């Protein structure tokens, strides 16, 4: 979910397997336990917390330039001036930005270099107009893959993060809407405000903050252990013999009635959940992405061939049936765009909780997320991304 820093870097020296570092969140959600809708999965509850990439990973990734650059496809030259004017930029600003001496062209793009004052002066609406246009092209990595705030505000996202209030205020004032989500793309501008490199790296680490959740299953003697085991061992009948004694043990333990959902997952997701990938994965080529994550859910060991998106797609066609909601444990939910491409996939667990990885890079962990949050990230809605369910054939 994080920015151009992630998209552009090679991550050649990331170190060993990284376990997430959690930090507390805003009072609005801190220590608040939310109840899921009861269903065949039983009675689930969850609470939110934040993960951040550890220092030793962030420190080995080059800091990006503090110069803001906007890249427009050469085919779109005719609309740039109109776009900037519609975004509220003055005639003087647009003439300066488009002056031949200030524009850099390459084979595919024309690059504009707005000043810090130009960028700071944009309204939220004007910023959204320009940046949502830039987001169509991966050359604009910060707009193409912005920082997403799944909280109600930037302030809530930043609470107890250690970020200075002045920095939080800047992030908040430069945030804008992408679809229904509040996002941030002005990483170069923000880093230009840092006092030194150490502060710049601290800011970069905080920009990796992602909200996830910890879920637990309530089990009492009144529950049907057989039914619960039946649901949580769905998917090729895995783990039934392991789960039944575990659940029975919980019901006979005085003062304890909850089981962490982590213990209900198959081996691969149980190993990687809330962690960051290390370079051992890169030995196979690309780093794990969402499709590798969802399609390896029931595998005893990860299958490297699923790093190939084309072959992963062929596996879905071969081994999965398309299904409608209501979904069940282990179903793969594909987010399909208007061109029929699967832009994301995640594994359904229960109610609206999914297991996912949002990006093929070292700074995005394996997490649990609610479907409404994922829908914000992948812009579901009429005429936009749609969700299609797939279930492994028996």
**Chain segment 157-189, per-residue pLDDT in tens:** 999 999 999 999 999 999 999 988 999 999 999
Same domain membership, residue 299 and residue 186: no
Same domain membership, residue 238 and residue 173: no
Same domain membership, residue 182 and residue 237: no
Report pLDDT digits (tens) over 312-334: 888 888 889 999 999 999 999 99
Strands (E), the chain: 18-19, 21-23, 34-35, 43-52, 70-73, 104-105, 109-112, 147-149, 176-178, 181-184, 210-218, 258-260, 275-276, 320-323, 332-336, 342-350, 353-357, 366-370, 386-392
Residue 345: Cβ within 10 Å count: 25
Residue 356 within any structural domain of the chain: yes
Instruction: Decide which of 149, 178, 207 is a domain's last residue.
Output: 207
Instruction: Decide which of 207, 242, 260 is a domain's last residue.
Output: 207
Report the pLDDT value the prediction gives residue 359, as an integer from 0 to 100. 85
What band does 18 get if pLDDT is binned at 50, 70 and 90? Answer: very low
Structure token digits, residue 211: 């909200």
Residue 281 within any structural domain of the chain: yes
- Give yes or no for a contact between 295 and 315, defined as CB atoms under 8 angstroms apart: yes
Same domain membership, residue 277 and residue 161: no
Same domain membership, residue 169 and residue 316: no
Same domain membership, residue 224 and residue 203: no
CA distance 176 to 87: 13
Same domain membership, residue 221 and residue 104: no
Same domain membership, residue 302 and residue 276: yes
CA dihedral 173, 179, 180, 184 (to 10 degrees): -30
Same domain membership, residue 221 and residue 136: no
CA-based nearest residue to 74, from 48, 107, 52, 101:
107
Domain around 30: 4-53+211-392
Same domain membership, residue 354 and residue 266: yes
Same domain membership, residue 248 and residue 381: yes
Same domain membership, residue 331 and residue 299: yes
Number of domains in the chain: 2
Sign of CA dihedral 134, 365, 17, 286: negative
Q: Which whole number is the average pLDDT over 261-280? A: 90
Residue 156 within any structural domain of the chain: yes
């Amino acid at each position: 979910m994080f920015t151009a820093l992630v998209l552009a870097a090679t991550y050649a020296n990331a170190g060993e397997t990284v376990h997430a570092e959690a930090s507390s969140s805003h009072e609005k959600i801190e220590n608040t336990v939310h109840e899921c809708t009861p269903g065949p999965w039983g009675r689930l509850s969850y609470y939110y917390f934040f993960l951040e990439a550890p220092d030793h990973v962030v420190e080995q990734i080059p800091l990006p330039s503090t110069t803001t650059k906007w890249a427009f496809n050469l085919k779109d030259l005719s609309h740039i001036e109109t776009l900037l004017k519609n975004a509220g930029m003055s005639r003087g600003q647009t003439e300066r930005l488009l002056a031949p001496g200030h524009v850099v062209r390459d084979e595919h793009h024309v690059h504009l270099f707005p000043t810090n004052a130009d960028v700071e002066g944009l309204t939220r609406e004007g910023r959204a107009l320009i940046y949502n246009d830039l987001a169509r092209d991966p050359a604009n990595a910060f707009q193409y893959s912005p920082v997403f705030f799944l909280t109600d505000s930037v302030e809530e996202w930043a609470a107890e993060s250690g970020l200075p209030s002045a920095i939080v205020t800047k992030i908040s004032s430069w945030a804008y809407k992408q679809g229904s989500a509040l996002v941030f793309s002005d990483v170069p501008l923000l880093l230009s405000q840092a006092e030194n490199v150490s502060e710049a790296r601290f800011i970069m680490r905080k920009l990796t903050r992602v909200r996830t959740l910890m879920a637990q299953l309530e089990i009492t003697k009144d529950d049907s252990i057989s039914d619960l085991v039946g649901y949580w061992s769905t998917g090729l009948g895995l783990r039934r013999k392991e789960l039944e004694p575990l659940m029975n043990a919980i019901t006979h333990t005085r003062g304890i009635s909850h089981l962490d959902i982590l213990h209900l997952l198959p081996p691969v997701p149980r190993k990687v959940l809330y962690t960051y990938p290390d370079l051992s994965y890169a030995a196979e080529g690309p780093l794990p992405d969402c499709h590798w994550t969802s399609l390896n859910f029931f595998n005893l060991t990860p299958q490297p061939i699923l790093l190939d998106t084309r072959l992963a797609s062929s596996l879905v066609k071969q081994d999965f049936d398309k299904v409608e909601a209501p979904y069940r444990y282990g179903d793969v939910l594909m987010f399909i765009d208007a061109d029929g491409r699967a832009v994301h996939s995640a594994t359904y667990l229960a109610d609206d909780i999914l297991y996912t990885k949002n990006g093929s890079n070292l700074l995005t962990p394996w997490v649990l997320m609610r479907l409404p949050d994922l829908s914000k990230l992948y812009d579901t809605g009429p005429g936009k991304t749609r969700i299609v369910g797939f279930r492994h054939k028996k």
